[in-house]
Structure 1
Amino acid sequence: MIVSVLLLVTLLPYLTLQASVDVGIVNGREARPHSRPYMVSIQRNNTHICGGFLVSEQFVMTAAHCFTQGEKLTVVVGAHDHNRGTRMDVKFYHIHPGYESLLNDIMLLQLHIKVKKSKKVNWISIPKKDKDIKAKTQCSVAGWGKTTTNGAASAKLLEVDVKIIDKKACQKDWEKTNISTSSMVCAGGRGGGFCQGDSGGPLVCNKVAVGVVSFNQQNNCDSPTVPNVYTKISKFLPWIKCIFGGVKQNLD
């Protein structure tokens, strides 16, 4: 089921704790240019709408809610300023078949051509097996989104450190919304996290992308009372391997 971001936002006010799925980096810092060569800007009509990250020479991982059926997205790789970089067309949109509202919020964009590895462009590793990330593990998130709830987005890539939050504690914090966090990972920091425009970016722990920016508390990027939530990549390894395998088979 493919649901647009606008529809999701319309449905969410029925939750006791509202969540926002069109989620800049809050209380962060400018990343060293090209220190995260896997980062990509996902754009519609040459305008940044979401983050994403290279996981191979031909695939970008992002959030499923970044796509609206019938629209065309492009990917900008090798950018520090999202207005400058190499623009690439998307060949196929692989949306998780179980995607619905906040669940299974993951998508693979298959590029028309393979990227060439360089100092500015490279892919990042993802988990090799499904396992939990220990609570209090130091991680980071990056993006080009808003820097405050009602602020402006950043043209240059920003980053911030966050810590993994125990999944039981996260489930309890979000339980009033009936959101299950079993296929999600939660993280937070001292007023730091993501905001509008960061959706689809990676949660990186020990140089491995373990999560995809999914949703946070609506209209409260600055001081949320519940943790930021990411899609847990390791839960989707069978699906990811199936997509990769299918493409390889077609090329052979």
Structure 2
Amino acid sequence: MGLIHLLLLGALLPHLSHSARVSVGIVNGTEAKPHSRPYMVSVQKHGRHICGGFLVSDMFVMTAAHCWKYGDNMTVVMGAHDLSDNRTSTNMAVKYYHIYPEFALEGLNDIMLLQLNGGVKKSPVINWIPIREKKKPIKANTICSVAGWGKTSTNGNISVRLMEAEVTVVGRKSCAKSWGSTFYAPTMVCTAGRGGFCKGDSGGPLVCNNTAVGIVSFFELENCDYLSKPNVYTKIANFVRWIRGIIHNSK
């Protein structure tokens, strides 16, 4: 896999070395104001956080396709800030796993919709976020943000409280040059900066102007702290027709 580190890829490719099995958290960030991101969810298996995700409707969570493997039964925790405190959170089982048909383990088309086993109601701690539908590239140097419950450094600990960090969009040509054609595709968007994601935040949203524009996908292998390559996200706008079709057909 070269320098790419797909989050939780070990769950999908058990023959990989241990160093390639770790998931993706927030580096050089700060604790988010509690419930300031009511769309954020913790995707869990057996009561353990494995990925981030975000509500895009009352019945659907968007996350990364590589977070799931055949036979997994996932639950979604909504309305949480501190994962050790369940006073405000709501747990819901996943009914269907909608993985994009052309998802590839190399990081291409890394998007999945989790259809919840019931609808959720908006509240001060639970709400969904709009997604970007325009395929026009986001301008380089745009300031956006990423959030999650993952590790705060390469060798650090998982954060039980939601963390967030500002990131800067990297132009397509620059990102393609850094990663090369083997790993970069037009269905991706990249960021750099002092902050970023690390192990444990797979599937979380890249948010620009209060809109979800990307899904956390992969980063430089075993290096969250001092990146020489941009962080990479799945570009949501390229999948809008598929997303709308899944949501519409569920009604």
Regarding TM over 0.5, the answer is yes
Shift of 1:10: 5.3
Gaps of 5+ in 1: none
> 1:180-199 maps to which residues of 2 (within 5 A)?
180-190=184-194, 192-199=195-202
Q: Secondary structure at the match of 2:244?
A: helix
**Aligned residues of 2:94 and 2:115 also touching (Cα < 8 A):** yes
RMSD in angstroms over aligned alpha carbons?
1.9
**Aligned residues of 2:100 and 2:112 also touching (Cα < 8 A):** yes
Equivalent residue number for residue 47 of structure 1: 48
**Aligned residues of 1:141 and 1:201 also touching (Cα < 8 A):** yes
Equivalent residue number for residue 116 of structure 2: 111
Q: Secondary structure at the match of 1:126?
A: coil
Shift of 1:129: 2.7
Q: Secondary structure at the match of 1:49?
A: strand
Spell out structure 1 runs of 4+ moving beyond 4 A: 7-13, 18-21
Residue identity matched to 2:70 = Q
Gaps of 5+ in 2: 1-7
Normalising by structure 1, what TM-score?
A: 0.90
Pick aligned residue for 1:97 from 101, 104, 114: 101
What do residues 204-241 of structure 1 show as CA deviations (whole Å, max 9, x unaligned)? Answer: 00000000000000100000110000000000011101
After superposition, the Cα gap between the structure-2 partners of 1:235 and 1:12, relative to the gap in structure 1 and judged at 3 Å, is farther
Equivalent residue number for residue 126 of structure 2: 121
Residue identity matched to 1:171 = A
After superposition, the Cα gap between the structure-2 partners of 1:155 and 1:52, relative to the gap in structure 1 and judged at 3 Å, is same
After superposition, the Cα gap between the structure-2 partners of 1:10 and 1:99, relative to the gap in structure 1 and judged at 3 Å, is same
Equivalent residue number for residue 62 of structure 1: 63
**Aligned residues of 2:56 and 2:129 also touching (Cα < 8 A):** yes
Shift of 1:20: 7.8
After superposition, the Cα gap between the structure-2 partners of 1:19 and 1:178, relative to the gap in structure 1 and judged at 3 Å, is farther
Pick aligned residue for 2:171 from 166, 173, 183: 166
Equivalent residue number for residue 91 of structure 2: 87
Quote the Cα distance in structure 1 between the aligned partners of 2:221 and 2:95: 32
**Aligned residues of 1:29 and 1:158 also touching (Cα < 8 A):** yes
Q: Secondary structure at the match of 1:225?
A: coil
**Aligned residues of 2:135 and 2:238 also touching (Cα < 8 A):** yes
Q: Secondary structure at the match of 2:250?
A: helix
Number of residue equivalences? 239
> 1:190-209 maps to which residues of 2 (within 5 A)?
190=194, 192-209=195-212
Quote the Cα distance in structure 2 between the aligned partners of 1:12 and 1:35: 38
Quote the Cα distance in structure 2 between the aligned partners of 1:127 and 1:21: 29
Equivalent residue number for residue 228 of structure 1: 231
**Aligned residues of 1:8 and 1:21 also touching (Cα < 8 A):** no
Q: Secondary structure at the match of 1:60?
A: strand
Normalising by structure 2, what TM-score?
A: 0.91
**Aligned residues of 2:9 and 2:21 also touching (Cα < 8 A):** no
Equivalent residue number for residue 240 of structure 1: 243
**Aligned residues of 2:133 and 2:236 also touching (Cα < 8 A):** no
User: In the alignment, does 2:135 pair up with 1:130?
Assistant: yes
Quote the Cα distance in structure 2 between the aligned partners of 1:9 and 1:26: 27
**Aligned residues of 2:172 and 2:189 also touching (Cα < 8 A):** yes
**Structure with the largest fraction of helix:** 1
**Aligned residues of 1:59 and 1:110 also touching (Cα < 8 A):** yes
Q: Give identity over the alignment, percent.
A: 58
Quote the Cα distance in structure 2 between the aligned partners of 1:186 and 1:12: 26
Quote the Cα distance in structure 1 between the aligned partners of 2:38 and 2:250: 24
